[in-house]
Amino acid sequence: MFPSAPQSVTLTLCLTLLVLGAACGGAGGARADSNATATPPAAPAPTAAAQTSPAPGTPPQVSASPAPASDGAAATPLPPRPAAAQTGAEVTIFARKLAGAYEADAAAVEKQYAGKTLAVTGRVESVLPQGPPPVGALKSFSGQPFLMFQGQVVGCAFQSEQRQAALGLRPRQRVTVVGRYAGGHGQRLVLRDCAVTAVDAADEAKREERRRERRQRKGKGEN
């Protein structure tokens, strides 16, 4: 039995709507699948500025740059020279060695050291505050503080500004004195314009310890 005309129109419209609905549903599903499977865009690579930026609270690192070439700039000052070198001593020698050489051959010593500045190290024999007596071989040094090294051969006449330093020396102290060779005077060799440049502090400490021990022994003996 065939449908009537109104029923046929109604059926045709229903079929048309069903076909359109199926087509729209398929397209929507395809779009949904495409959105679900699409690869997310990659994050942009950090720029050079971002890579070198320090973390918060971290001081920036400063790259070392080569120092500019010097255009006649002043050089770094050298450390001060030793006191003995500043005096201009040309010869460094022990008093006992100098005395032995003078006693062996005074003429050779005169020739070798005449006019030179010597730094002489040895032990003090005595210090004459007013210098040698105004007579005899050393009379030209009278009135000046005068030191004799042990052995009584090498003597030193001090400059006036060195008077206090000379008078502060004691027998048997080990000292270094710088002065200009003034030649032989009888059996003695003399340096003039002398200055004390060093006193052996370690040696002086040992001597003080020995003096203290002697005083202690003397005190125990008296008791």
CATH number at 172 reads: 2.40.50.140
For the ranges 7-16, 116-125, 150-159, which has the lowest average pLDDT?
Answer: 7-16
DSSP assignment, residue 90? S
Range of the domain at 98: 84-205
143 found inside a domain: yes
d(CA 219, CA 48): 86
Which whole number is the average pLDDT over 18-28? 54
Q: Could you give the CA distance from residue 114 to residue 40 in angstroms, rounded to a whole number?
A: 100
Q: Is the residue at 79 inside a domain?
A: no
To the nearest whole percent, how much of the chain has pLDDT over 70?
Answer: 59
The percent of residues in the chain predicted with pLDDT above 90, rounded, is 35
For residue 23, the model assigns a pLDDT of 53
Mean residue pLDDT across the chain: 73
Distance CA 166, CA 174 (A): 13
**Any domain includes 176:** yes
Q: What is the token pair recorded at 104?
A: 């062996």
Question: Is the per-residue pLDDT at 66 higher than 50?
Answer: no
Task: Say if 40 falls within a structural domain.
Answer: no
- On whether the CB atoms of residues 95 and 156 are closer than 8 A, the answer is no
Number of domains in the chain: 1
pTM tops 0.85, yes or no: no
More confident residue, 27 or 182: 182
pLDDT band at 82; cut points 50, 70, 90: very low
Beta carbons of 131 and 105 less than 8 angstroms apart: no
pLDDT higher than 50, residue 89: yes
Residue 27 has pLDDT above 60, yes or no: no
Residue 13 lies in a domain: no
Helix, strand, or coil here: 119? strand
**Count of Cβ atoms closer than 10 Å to residue 133 Cβ:** 10
| Residue 28, in any domain of the structure | no
- What is the structure's pLDDT at 218? 82
Classify residue 61: in a domain, yes or no: no
